[in-house]
Structure 1
Amino acid sequence: MTDKGGHWGTDKSDELLDVLVAPGGRLVFAGYEHGSLDASVPPEGDALGVIWTVAPGSPIPTYQLLNLPGSAEVVEALTLQPGTNALHFAARTTGAFPGFKSGGRYDVVVGDVGPDGKLRVRYQGGSEHPQHPTRLTFDPAGDLVVAGYDDDTIDVNYLAREEDPFVLKLHAGEDGALQASWWNHDDTDGSDQVLGLGVGSDGAVYVSGGVLSGAQDGPFLRKLDAQGQALWNRRVTPTGFDMIAAVHVLPGGDLLVAGSTFHQLGEHAYGQQDAFVQRRDGATGEVRWTTQLGTDDSDWVTDLAVDPVDGSIVVVGETPGTFDPAKPNAGEFDVFLARLSADGQVRATQQWGSAGDDHPAAVAVDPCGRAFIVGYTTGDLAGPSRGSRDAFVLFTETTRT
């Protein structure tokens, strides 16, 4: 790894799916390696869940595996426990960890780093449908909240069940094991994904995503109370190809959401599908302001982060277009980053690309204003291509203006 980033891969598929900045400037990355994409719900084969930690000034990450022989594991999301800064993770597995039973296909797995410094599984749960956790965070009571969706269920050669969203709350029992307090699961007639998660100071849970098909298709923002009961649902557009990928709860209780739309939500529309950021009232979900930005092509947002010092907003995504005409798109989909002021004014954009597909999964911002982007590439984004998908990290200099 260099001061600009890094690129890793095996002869199979490798992805980084989340990143966080830990105390002391440590960077923590999560994902998988050595997976097979030749499956209805990838990765399969002997995919290995991985967590990498990079200390300041060190070019070499430390490496931890979440792995059961003969099964596939993927680490999807990371979070730090308030007060202790203990690292926790959400993952999925096709196997069964010691002390647990497999629910069926892919199960939700939640764990932490134990006293011995090794990854420790504290919860596994699932059903006959493949679970796909996407976000993890703590609530004010110290319980863990997991959000995600069930992947499509394919039986032999037909679609038996489409994607359905879920939110799961876990609390620690007296023995330290995590137990489900509630599991909010929507069995709808369409295809639904939850990609964003935030928790308010009162324990309210906010999730965002999209209904991809059905009578109520379109991107959504939903609020649940601390017991998992629905309080409201805001449908942003009536288009199933639109999505709200991320939600962030601000200190005063307002929300920031970021996503993609074919509609004009801000002052201008720029291309086919644009990126957008909204600030919304956390109590009602009503819009306070909207910023829309994009190229003349389709721009797809994947994550949002907030600068911990000045409150500016960093959004990442992928585009087949170009934000700067002097720097044309390098291939299929390029990575883009947009920096907005705390009140939604676009300050800067950056773009990186290879001849392949460059997909950013997550972004984090450190106290110096530097952004760290992780994802996968099928090209030579930050080094030579090694397999079908290679994991990458991109570092920016401070993106403050």
Structure 2
Amino acid sequence: MYNMCVKKALIFTVIFSFIGACIAPGISETLKNEGNQKMDDDISISSTMINYELNKDEKIDLLSIDVGWQWAKRAGGTGYDIGNSVSVDGNGNTYITGGFDDAVDFGSYSLTSQGGLDVFIAKLNSNGDWQWAKRAGGTSSDEGVGVSVDINGNTYITGYFKGTVDFGSYSLTSQGSFDVFIAKLNSNGDWQWAKRAGGTGSDRGDSISVDGNGNIYITGGFDNTLDVFIAKLDTNGDWQWTKIAGGIDDDYGYGVSVDINGNTYITGDFYDTVDFGTYSLTSQGSWDVFIAKLDTNGDWQWAKRAGGTGSDRGYGVSVDINGNTYITGHFKNTVDFGSYSLTSQGGLDVFIAKLNSNGDWQWAKRAGGTGYDIGNSVSVDINGNTYITGGFDDAADFGTYSL
């Protein structure tokens, strides 16, 4: 058996990644973001696959692939339109959600809000062609904040709404101020169900994840003095369990991820002292980062903090096949991730950190400059390579790479 290692480095605006994979002769290995090109008689690269044939006596060398933009699309109208979350299925189809005002177009698909901000969910194929676009909402402000897709191409979204809103033929009514919604569409964009959660305060769903069995996990914040919630529903939208965490001050869940065993991981921020079941955390000054794990039954397994005297928040979380957890967000001044210490260059800086399945810190890295820099989302592939996206102000460094 002859193997050739293929590596690529991808740097552009606010996304960076380092990917490594080994390809056996005659075997295609799925990678991400390869250019569509023909290199020679032995190497062929399509939109998502790379295939390389090695003869017995060929020298094994390093192949470097310079990856470029594949496509870019716009959507919107004359009002306020925002995309908040994106998810990709196994066939390279892309799903986005957010909010829009007035009338918007997604290619040839047009949507019109009922008044104020409405929810949109839209699908593009692997070439960036719009497949469908759907709206949901009412006369108040309603917004899609998180999206996830299962192995069958069903799409799940969460966010917030106020008053009475429609998701196709499904209608929801909030109890007071803003409530949480969770809704499901099939691969054709047909609404399957819609559920609400909340009370008389201000409640919002911020992140959503789905496991291999179609179970759905959401996190966000609820009530006037915000606390963290994490909840599980089955594929039919029936509630399985709900858990809360928090203290006397504002605490919020921004990101959720689920592993292959149905364990759930959430990240966000907290102030002062908070409880995650029997696990208690105390911030060092202002808001600190938390990362916590629950098992498939919703029982807390561990909770960890990171931060310093500044304002530190965890926004995105992802878990690999071995149960290692990766989080990103922002920090200010000097912060600790267990025994790992980071110092910002001026304003807010990006952090990316890893914990093992027991919640032990493995490493922590920073990126950014003297401006306002933030990590919003993180993803990890089957080889443990990590990808983050976010925003930066002025000049920023990512290791030896400068933007």
CA distance in 1, matches of 2:123, 2:70: 16
Q: CA shift at 1:3, angstroms?
A: 4.9
Q: Deviations over 1:261-308 (max 9, x none)?
A: 23255576451333222221222x111222223224332110111234
Q: CA shift at 1:238, angstroms?
A: 3.2
CA contact (8 A) 2:332 2:343 kept: no
Alignment-mate amino acid for residue 255 of structure 2: A
Q: Does 1:250 align with 2:263?
A: no
Partner of 1:203: 214
Q: 1:395 to 1:297 in 2, by over 3 A?
A: same
For residues 283-322 of structure 1, the aligned pairs below 5 Å read 283=297, 285-308=298-321, 310-322=322-334
Q: 1:146 to 1:396 in 2, by over 3 A?
A: farther
CA contact (8 A) 1:4 1:395 kept: no
Which structure is richer in relative contact order (CA contacts within 8 A, separation 6 or more)?
1
Q: CA shift at 1:146, angstroms?
A: 0.6
Q: Deviations over 1:132-174 (max 9, x none)?
A: 222212246542111122489xxxxxxxx854321111124xx
- Which 5+ residue runs of structure 1 have no aligned equivalent? 9-15, 29-52, 153-160, 383-393
Alignment-mate amino acid for residue 349 of structure 1: A
CA contact (8 A) 1:205 1:226 kept: yes
CA distance in 2, matches of 1:179, 1:396: 46
For residues 2-401 of structure 1, the aligned pairs below 5 Å read 3=9, 5-7=11-13, 23-26=30-33, 57-58=65-66, 60-82=68-90, 84-94=91-101, 95-97=103-105, 98=109, 100-114=111-125, 117-139=128-150, 142-150=153-161, 162-172=177-187, 176=188, 178-186=189-197, 188-211=199-222, 213=224, 217-262=226-271, 263=273, 265=275, 269=282, 271-272=284-285, 273-283=287-297, 285-308=298-321, 310-323=322-335, 328-382=343-397
- Structure with greater strand share of residues: 2
Q: Deviations over 1:186-222 (max 9, x none)?
A: 46322222122122444332211112515xx411112
Q: CA shift at 1:357, angstroms?
A: 1.7
CA distance in 2, matches of 1:188, 1:396: 48
Alignment-mate amino acid for residue 104 of structure 1: G
CA distance in 2, matches of 1:65, 1:183: 28
CA contact (8 A) 1:338 1:350 kept: yes
CA contact (8 A) 1:370 1:396 kept: no
CA distance in 1, matches of 2:238, 2:261: 23
Q: 1:136 to 1:23 in 2, by over 3 A?
A: farther
CA distance in 2, matches of 1:299, 1:336: 10
CA contact (8 A) 2:100 2:119 kept: yes
Q: CA shift at 1:346, angstroms?
A: 0.4
CA contact (8 A) 1:66 1:119 kept: no
- Pairs aligned (count): 334
SS of the residue corresponding to residue 31 of structure 2 reads helix
What's the TM-score once normalised by structure 1's chain length? 0.71
Q: CA shift at 1:236, angstroms?
A: 0.7
Q: Deviations over 1:25-50 (max 9, x none)?
A: 2289xxxxxxxxxxxxxxxxxxxxxx
CA distance in 2, matches of 1:209, 1:164: 11
What's the TM-score once normalised by structure 2's chain length? 0.71
The structure whose Rg is larger is 2
Q: Deviations over 1:101-145 (max 9, x none)?
A: 323233222222248642333322222223322221224654211
Q: Deviations over 1:309-346 (max 9, x none)?
A: x4321111111232379863222221112111122110
